[in-house]
Amino acid sequence: MRILHVFPDEKFFDYVSDFFDELNNVENLYIYYNREQNYTFKYIKNTSKIKIESSYKEYVKLFSSSNIDIIYFHSLPLNVWKFFRYIDKNKKIIWWCWGFEIYQKCRLMKPLVQVDLYKPLTLEYVRQNEIKSIGLLRFLYWLLMYPYDYIIRKKIISRIDYFTPVLPIEYQLMKKISYFRAKPFMLNSGPGLASKVDFKFHLIPQNILIGNSLSYTNNHLDVFSKIHSYRLCNQKYVVPVNYGTDFNGNKMFLKDIANLHTDVVWLTDFMPFEQYFQLFETITHAIFGHIRQQAMGNIFACLEKGIKIYLYKDSVIYRQLVELGFIVFSIDNDLSEISLQKVLSKEDAYTNLTCCRKIGIHKIENANQELNTMFKQ
C-alpha cells in the first residue's frame, strides 16, 4: 500500500518517517510542496527521502492518483485544508493530531475540544494581548474572507477516516463531536519507534526543567508566581524559550518578569534533538504547566529518565498519565521548595519506565495489523 505523507518542516518528521519506513508492505511517499525547488529544510535532517514538488498543479494531482491508497496528514493546520478538495473519495485519510488543531482557537472558530487552557495570570495577559493583536480590522478581515470556516472544518473533520491522537483520552474527547466519524489508528502509541532506555534513577537533586517552549499554554506566569520565592541550593531552573512565537516572539520577555531567586538557564537558541536531550542528564525535576496535551516528547523523556514531574491536576496530561499508572505530582498540591529538593524514589522511577515500555512495545506489529485490517474493511 502506498502512503502519501503531508507534513510540515518540523522536528517530528525524522523519527515518524523512520517508523513508517519499518512497516511491512508499505511504500511511503514523502513529497513536500514548496515553490522553491531548492528549499532548505530548517528542522528536518533526513531530507534524502523527501522529494520537493514546486508545481502546485502536479502536487495536487497526487491526491487523486490511483497509485496512492492512504493520505496521511502530519497535523491538520489551516494551510492543508485546501488539499481536501482534491482527495479522491476512495482514498483513506489518516490524521495524526498534534494537539494545537483541536485545543486552540483558529481565526473566528472555537476549539474542537474546549478546555480552560490558561491559569489566572496567563489568562489575564493573553486577554490583553489578544485585544491588542487581533483588533477590529483583523476581526472584520476574518469575517469577510473566511465566513465559511465552520462549514469547511466540519466537512474536513467528517471526511477523516482514521484518527491518531498523542494521548488516547483525546480520541474520547473528539468522539463528543457529532460529525467526527473517524476510527482510531494507533490509539495507544502513535507513530515513532520505541526508544530503548536503561533504567535510571537519581540520588541527589539537580536542575529543574520548566516548560518546553515560548508558548502561552506553558502557563509560565503562573508557574513562576508559584515558585518565585523558592531558594534552592546547587540547583538551577532550565527554561526553553527557543521554540514558539508567543509573547511577540520576545525570548527575553519571560526573563525580565520571572523574578526568581534561583539561577536560571534560558535556552534561546534552537538545539538539535540529540543535544537538547543531553540536557536531561542534569535534570531531576520538571514542571509542565500545560492544560492541554503538549510537550509529550519532553514529558516521556522525563518519565523514562527517572525525572520527577509536576503537572496541574486539571491537565489532560495529568489525567491520562495517572490513568495509565504513572507516578506524577501536582503543581497545585505537591509542588513546594521542599519537594524540589527530594528526588523521585527508585521504586517510582522504575514504575514510570515500566509504563513507558508498555506503551512502546509492539508498535510496529500493531501498526501493521491495523493497516491490514483497514484494507479488509
Determine the pLDDT at residue 277: 84
Determine the pLDDT at residue 148: 93
Q: Judge whether 2-107+149-188+361-376 and 207-360 match in fold.
A: yes
CA nearest neighbour of 149 among 117, 180, 110: 110
Q: What is the pLDDT of residues 234-246, one digit of tens each?
A: 999 999 998 888 9
Angle at 294 between CA 184 and CA 340, to 5 degrees: 130
Q: Report whether 360 contacts 194 (CB < 8 A).
A: yes
Determine the pLDDT at residue 375: 80
Predicted TM-score (pTM) of this structure: 0.90
- Number of Cβ within 10 Å of residue 141's Cβ equals 13
Determine the pLDDT at residue 131: 65
The yes-or-no verdict on residue 94 having pLDDT over 70 is yes
The yes-or-no verdict on residue 345 having pLDDT over 70 is yes
Percent of the chain with pLDDT over 70: 98
Angle at 361 between CA 360 and CA 367, to 5 degrees: 85
Cα–Cα distance measured from residue 120 to residue 124, given in angstroms and rounded to the nearest whole number: 6
Least confident of 220-229, 258-267, 304-313, 326-335: 258-267
Q: What is the pLDDT of residues 50-60, one digit of tens each?
A: 999 999 999 99
Q: How does DSSP assign 257-288, residue by residue?
A: H---SS-EEEE-S---HHHHHHGGGGEEEEEE
Determine the pLDDT at residue 137: 81
CATH number of 2-107+149-188+361-376: 3.40.50.2000
Q: How many residues does the chain have?
A: 377
- The domains of the chain are located at 2-107+149-188+361-376, 207-360
Determine the pLDDT at residue 262: 86
Cα–Cα distance measured from residue 130 to residue 237, given in angstroms and rounded to the nearest whole number: 29
The yes-or-no verdict on residue 134 having pLDDT over 80 is no
What are φ and ψ of residue 274, in 5° steps? -65, -40
Cα–Cα distance measured from residue 171 to residue 163, given in angstroms and rounded to the nearest whole number: 8
Q: What is the pLDDT of residues 290-300, one digit of tens each?
A: 999 999 999 99
CATH class for domain 207-360? alpha beta
Q: Report whether 55 contacts 34 (CB < 8 A).
A: no
How confident is residue 190, by pLDDT bands cut at 50, 70 and 90? confident
